[in-house]
Structure 1
Amino acid sequence: MSRTLTYVVFVAIALGGGVVIGVSNPPGEWYQSLVKPALNPPDWIFGPVWFVLYALVGIAGARTWLRGHLSIGMLLWAWQMVLNFLWSPSFFGLRMPSAALVVIVLLLALILAFVVNRWKSDRISALLFIPYAVWVSFEALLNASIVYLN
């Protein structure tokens, strides 16, 4: 597979997976009825932020794949995608914010492990995950706040 096609495939996996998961698990009335913390951003923010983050995650995944298909970095990338895609069904689909909190904490741990793993061998991929780590940290705080308030 060419380098360009590798990037297209990885960005498509991240963006496409995010869209499918998002459309399949809409927030709905249940979410609107929850008590949310004051720091909860308006709903329209999440789509654009995740679009950018999924593009960055896809690029980092492609870079990691091109450097070693069966590397620890690639395994960390794949498993963090699995957890990322499990969060919305846990929170919105099953309506289980506590279970979603466990998922997002594990997700954050894998994101940080990916950054540490890639830091020396592919600093660009590690840096591409920094905004993702910051946003997921913020969303973990939101998730924990919702668990606490409800």
Structure 2
Amino acid sequence: MSTVLLDKDRHDRTRFNCGVDALNSYLRMMAGQQARRDNSRTFVLPDAANESQIIGFYTLTMTPIDLRALPEALQKKHHSSTSAGLIARLAVDQRYRGQGWGEWLLIDALKKLLHASDTVGFPLVVVDAKDGARDFYTKYGFTAFHDLDYKLFISMAEIRASFAR
């Protein structure tokens, strides 16, 4: 299985339901627009039994970073950095919950961002862990920014090291 870019002609966005209205609405109404404007890219994981059905999705883009919100060691190391990769959204349809697809999608997103960082350098990946998702991300090594409990980050060095194992 592999993720593919969202294609409104191939993927049934109306059937997707992760239980969070904002994420469902984004997939249905905004993801395609944002891609056409080159603001973000949304990747979907289609069900192998029916390619039009979406198991889950994530959206990638870039985000500015406030270095003052990072631990001091990272502030010093990345003092000239201004942006990070952003996993803007990540969701799994309720029908596929409890089967490991969230972890699968996160790893896939991190691999894509790692590959992108080999071409255009950036030091961190950021997520906004709203709607109770904080524990999910901290389990995979994400750390909260000093000033925002729901905004988390992981360094590209940590990602690279975890895939090297």
Measured against the shorter chain, the TM-score band is 0.3 to 0.5
Select the structure that is richer in helix. 1
Select the structure that is richer in strand. 2
What TM-score do the two structures reach when normalised by structure 1?
0.35
